[in-house]
Amino acid sequence: MGRLQLALVLALAGGPAPVHAANLLVNGDFDDPPAEGWQCTPTARCSHDELDVDGDASSGSALLSAEPASPGSSVVLAQCVAVVPDRSYDFTGWARVSEANPVTTILRLRMAWYSGAACTGSLIHSEVLAAAGEIGVWTPLARTRPSPPNAASGRFDVQFLKSPSVPGGATARVDALSVPEPAAGAGALAALATLGAHARRRAAPSA
């Protein structure tokens, strides 16, 4: 059993939860529209949706709508965060790609590391963190990656795209995006506990 699966089992069983680290992302739970804290490209393709991973009517999720007109077109929801060099960072979130979409859609989390503050300076490198593999259901996404020794900031984003060869639009939702502050020995557990907490609330019977 992997670390993520074990953490989810413990959380669902009501096991002890580690201390939660502060989320570096602003509005990661999308209690407010994506315009709060996030940059969307193209702007008109990101909106607030009432469908929430926890079923919380007072919150919501970010709805991404992709209708690429040419190869390589995509919708990107991004936010820049300050990072500490040579530290371990945990990236987690939930995604739901519409069941009406063809298999030619791709949704993935990415991170680009920069040498300067506020995502300036030199681009050190970028990487894909995780990708949604299921259609029509909320899917957990998680990955732990070290920051480069000379990193000062990072651009975390969600990319959603659809093959231009397939007619029609495509939609996807993301929620509970989190990049906890690195804490000695506790960062990964805190991130996994966040996923476990969401899984436990989704598994709880409705009143």
Q: CATH number for the domain including 51?
A: 2.60.120.260
* pTM of the entire predicted model: 0.79
Residue 15 in any domain: the answer is no
pLDDT in tens, 191-207: 555 555 555 555 555 44
Residue 121 in any domain: the answer is yes
The residues near 51 (Cβ < 8 Å, ≥ 6 apart) are 60, 61, 63, 96, 173
pLDDT in tens, 47-102: 999 999 999 988 999 999 987 555 557 899 999 999 999 999 999 999 999 876 65
How many domains does the structure of the chain reveal?
Answer: 1
Strands 75-82 and 61-66: unpaired
Residue 196 in any domain: the answer is no
pLDDT in tens, 111-147: 999 999 999 999 999 999 999 988 889 999 999 999 9
Residue 203 in any domain: the answer is no
| Long-range Cβ contact pairs of 148-151 (< 8 A, separation 24 or more) | 148/85, 148/86, 148/113, 148/124, 149/85, 149/86, 150/85, 150/115, 150/124, 151/83, 151/85, 151/86, 151/113, 151/114, 151/115, 151/124
Residue 73 in any domain: the answer is yes
Q: What is the Cα–Cα distance from 86 to 149, expressed in whole angstroms?
A: 5
Residue 144 in any domain: the answer is yes
Residue 197 in any domain: the answer is no
Residue 166 in any domain: the answer is yes
Residue 62 structural domain: 22-181
3-state SS track over 42-106: CHHHEEEECCCCCCCCCCCEEEEEECCCCCCCCEEEEEEEECCCCCEEEEEEEEEECCCCCCCEE
Side-chain-side CA neighbours of 69 within 13 Å: the count stands at 1
The neighbouring-strand residues paired with 144 are 90
